[in-house]
Structures are given as C-alpha cells and as structure tokens.
C-alpha cells in the first residue's frame, strides 16, 4: 500500500522525489513507482512538491501498477523498434491486467518473436537507462 510522508522545507532541497527518497527513506526506494500530492500523480524524477504531505505509490496501489505498466509498454515498444526498426507504433496503454501495444510491423508476432522481444526488454531494463517524462502539446 501507499506510504505517506510529511515534507519539510529541508526536503525540498533535494533535486527530485527519487533523490529525496534515497536520502530520507531508502527502505521504499526499490518499491516506489510514482507519487501523489494533492490528488495529482507525480513522476519520481520530478521535484519535491511544495506541499506538506507526499504519498508514495507502489505496485500494491492501482495507480502504482498503472505507472509500472505504462513504463513497461514503453520498454516493449523500444524492444520491438530495436528488433524491427521498420515497425510503426500506434497506441500502448496500461489496462486492468497489464498493457498492450498496437504495432504495424512487417514482422509476424509469433511466440518465438515474442521471446526475442522479452529478451530485448530484459537487456533494456538491465541497462538501467534514466527515464524522463515529457509532456507535449498535440
């Protein structure tokens, strides 16, 4: 379940929510997936908000699972693009039981191909790339 923390002025000196967690609450770092403050979902790479309380979401929380699945869909898309550069991406939302992605690809998505996608996803995850949330206008 989510964990609530009180925020002090000193806490806001950290570069991000993730950095604050590492310094102040290392016990939850490996489980933290997102944060919520004043009802808004926050990326852990974002700044510590100017509020009195911060809720840290884990996989035990619906919004934590959704954040996890959303990120996993991007990892899968990256893996498919590495294996099939000509593949075109459509939508890839998180859903109640996981996530999916629509692809327009010259490669048939056979069980053997999906094993290659999973192996490529493991490589991407092992590389531990930093992630950055970008919000773009349409």
Structural domain boundaries, residue 8: 3-60
Same domain, 96 and 50: no
Q: Could you tell me if 55 and 81 lie in one domain?
A: no
45 and 75 assigned to the same domain: no
Instruction: Please write the tens of the pLDDT for every residue from 68-117.
Output: 998 999 999 999 999 999 999 988 788 888 888 899 999 999 999 999 99
Q: How many domains does the chain have?
A: 2
Q: Give every strand in the sheet of 3-6, ordered side by side.
A: 3-6, 53-57, 34-37, 40-42
pTM of the model: 0.84
């Amino acid at each position: 379940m989510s964990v609530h923390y009180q925020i002090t002025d000193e806490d806001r000196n950290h570069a991000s929510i993730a950095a604050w967690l590492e310094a102040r609450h290392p016990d939850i770092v490996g489980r933290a997936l997102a944060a919520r403050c004043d009802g808004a979902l926050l990326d852990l790479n974002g700044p510590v908000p100017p509020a009195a309380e911060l809720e840290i979401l884990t996989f035990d929380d619906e919004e934590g699972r959704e954040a996890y699945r959303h990120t996993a869909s991007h990892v899968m898309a990256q893996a498919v693009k590495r294996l099939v550069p000509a593949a075109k991406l459509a939508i890839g939302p998180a859903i109640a039981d996981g996530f999916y992605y629509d692809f327009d690809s010259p490669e048939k998505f056979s069980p053997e191909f999906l094993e290659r996608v999973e192996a490529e996803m493991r490589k991407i995850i092992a590389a531990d790339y930093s992630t950055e949330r970008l919000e773009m206008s349409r």
